[in-house]
Amino acid sequence: MLEALLFDLDGTFADTAPDLAAALNRLRADLGLPSVPAEQLRPLTSQGVRGMLKGGLEMLPSDLRYAEFYDRFLHYYSQDICVETTLFPGIEPLLEALEGRCWPWGIVTNKAQRFTLPLLARLGCAKRAACVVSGDSARRAKPAAQPMRLASALLARRPETCLYVGDDLRDIQAGRAAGMLTVAVRYGYLGDGKPIEDWGADHVVDHAREIAALAGIH
């Protein structure tokens, strides 16, 4: 019996790729390089700063200037964190349906809290979420189970009564490790690894409107 719904943030709940790509392209401009189309960077967005620096600058953590560019990327992103970011189609009606049934919903993301909370506030969702677990909220981030267990505890629900929705293999691994039912969204960023069908999710959906039916909310 499901009692709560949890979302990954980037690529599942909100389309943050445009603003993350803008931050990366500011770095490229600093180096005198042309901009990279946002769509080219989109699949790497769920991999965080490491994915963006690798995809946009071919920069790895072993590079001498990696820490400098990592910090500069986050600085640029924090300045314009919600310029073009929007909720994915179908998310707002889903939230309204959940709230109409008094279902708690929350966010479990690997994004640091100092970015997660301001972003959710600007999207008008911070006060609506029953819990927000960021990448630095638990001892280990996804794909570990700790963030998922923390979220279910904050909701006062058992993990097996929670449905977790994500767009990256790590999301499904974390949800399954915690004993949650998992949903992979094909509309998300998906990364550059295994096909979504091979992640081991309990369900795969093409649009957020399909999630309500899986949760038994109509």
Active site annotation includes 198 = no
Residue 26 and residue 173: Cα distance in Å, rounded? 33
Residue 6 and residue 152: Cα distance in Å, rounded? 9
Active site annotation includes 202 = no
| From 10, 19, 167, 171, the catalytic residue | 10
Residue 142 and residue 144: Cα distance in Å, rounded? 4
Residue 51 and residue 148: Cα distance in Å, rounded? 23
With beta carbons less than 8 A apart as the criterion, state whether 141 and 135 touch. Answer: yes
With beta carbons less than 8 A apart as the criterion, state whether 169 and 194 touch. Answer: yes
| From 8, 15, 19, 168, the catalytic residue | 8
Question: Which residues are catalytically annotated?
Answer: 8, 10
